[in-house]
Amino acid sequence: MTTVPIINESPFELPTYATVQSAGLDLRAHIESAITLAPLERKIIGTGLKMALPSGIEAQVRPRSGLAAKFGITVLNAPGTIDADYRGEIGVILVNLSNEAYTLQPGERIAQLVIAAYTQVRWEAATELTDTNRGDSGFGSTGKQ
């Protein structure tokens, strides 16, 4: 397990895993009063959290399935990437894809944060690539099963 320094400027608890095998940590809305999102409206909602991820680690902001399924509220740029060198407040771009207004409450769980390792690459110019069975067959080429 990796330790990550975090500053919590909100009155809410630090993000936690809901179960022992959860991949995502719940992020909460750091707002002073309720905010209403009209249909198709989007807003950046702060969390009050700042962190210092180690090199080689990113954080991905993802939608909460319950908010999406029940109310049409999702993260617009899902997954949003937080780079290891970012030190500002974690913000979540929420959008209301439903036909009804949705009122967001202070401290409401609005997104999940998944921590993941990544590798940077160095490009090597080439004139051809190794062959595979799939080749250049793209979207939908592996069937509908």
pLDDT digits (tens, 9 = 90+) for 4-34: 999 999 999 999 999 999 999 999 999 999 9
Mean pLDDT of the chain: 95
Residue 100 inside a domain? The answer is yes
Residue 134 inside a domain? The answer is no
Q: Which residues are within 8 A (CB) of 29 and not within 5 positions of it... i.e. 6 or more apart?
A: 35, 45, 46, 47, 92, 104, 105, 106, 107, 108, 110
For residue 49, what are its two tokens? 């959290």
Residue 131 inside a domain? The answer is no
Task: State the residue range of the domain holding 99.
Answer: 6-117
Q: What is the average pLDDT across 102-107?
A: 98
Residue 94 inside a domain? The answer is yes
Distance of CA 7 to the CA centre of its chain: 18
Q: Helix or strand or coil: residue 30?
A: coil
- By CB neighbour count within 10 A (0-12 exposed, 13-18 middle, 19+ buried), where does 93 fall? middle
Question: What is the pLDDT, as a whole number, of residue 136?
Answer: 84
Where residue 44 sits, what CATH number does that domain have? 2.70.40.10
Contact indicator for 2, 54 with CB cutoff of 8 Å: yes
Residue 1 inside a domain? The answer is no
Is residue 135 over pLDDT 70?
yes
Question: What is the pLDDT, as a whole number, of residue 134?
Answer: 84
Residue 30 inside a domain? The answer is yes
- Count of structural domains within the chain: 1
Question: What is the pLDDT, as a whole number, of residue 129?
Answer: 93
Q: Which residues are within 8 A (CB) of 82 and not within 5 positions of it... i.e. 6 or more apart?
A: 51, 53, 58, 59, 60, 61, 90
Confidence (pTM): 0.88
Q: What is the average pLDDT across 34-48?
A: 98
